[in-house]
Amino acid sequence: MSETHNKYNELARRLHPEDRVAIMAIGNTMRGDDGAGPKVIALIRPRKDLLLLDCGPVPENFLGTVCEFNPSYIVLVDAAMMDAPPGTVRVLGPGDIKRLPALSTHTIPLPLLVDYLQREVVDCQVLLIGIQPKTIAFAEGVSKEVSEAIKEVAHMLNDLLGQRSY
């Protein structure tokens, strides 16, 4: 079974057609591969019961919007330091997110964001689609490896969320 197939199955196991889903894309597009999250969300097709937020490097500015939407699932999409080859994509649950390095290019580290979301949004599950960056130095555009990962993640999300019944 391919690695892409495994990631797809992991997402399919967690996301269900009846879920209200909020996707929070996190990252700074002026810091190379750190802009992966916003670039993914730009490729997601909007649909009913789906909240798409390009949070840039300040996801805390969107917490009220997410709480008001009251999703059953929050999907964070971000570049994540996972000690993996550049462009590696992983689907991580809250326990895995909390083990990520606290060092962040954002104003709030992901583990703190997840703690807040789990406390404030009742009956909501949180997961991270992490993309291993090659560089987060000040630069426009993303590396080839991360560009491919962005397309892969957007395709998986569009496919899974496109199966929603209305």
Residue 9 CB: number of other CB atoms within 10 A? 12
Q: How far apart are CA 152 and CA 138, in angstroms?
A: 24
Question: What's the confidence (pLDDT) of residue 166?
Answer: 42
**24 phi and psi, to 5 degrees?**
-110, 110
Cα–Cα distances in Å, from 19 out to 83, 153, 166?
32, 19, 11
Report which DSSP code applies to 58: -
Instruction: Using the Cα atoms of residue 18, residue 35, residue 10 and residue 123 in order, give the sign of their dihedral.
Output: negative
CATH of 3-161, one of 3.40.50.1450, 2.40.50.140, 3.90.1150.60, 3.60.20.10: 3.40.50.1450
86 close to 134: Cβ distance less than 8 angstroms: yes
Going from N- to C-terminal start, the domains of the chain cover 3-161
pLDDT of the chain, 166 residues: tens digit per residue: 457 668 888 888 888 767 899 999 999 999 999 999 999 999 999 988 999 999 999 999 999 999 999 999 999 999 999 999 999 999 999 888 888 876 556 668 888 888 889 888 878 999 999 999 999 889 889 999 999 999 999 999 998 887 554 4
Closest CA to 96 of 137, 127, 118: 127
Instruction: Report the pLDDT value the prediction gives residue 104, as an integer from 0 to 100.
Output: 58
Both tokens assigned to 117: 């979301």
DSSP β-bridge partners for residue 53: 24
* Helix 3-14 × helix 144-161 angle, to 10°: 40
The angle subtended at Cα 92 by Cα 34 and Cα 84, nearest 5°, is 55
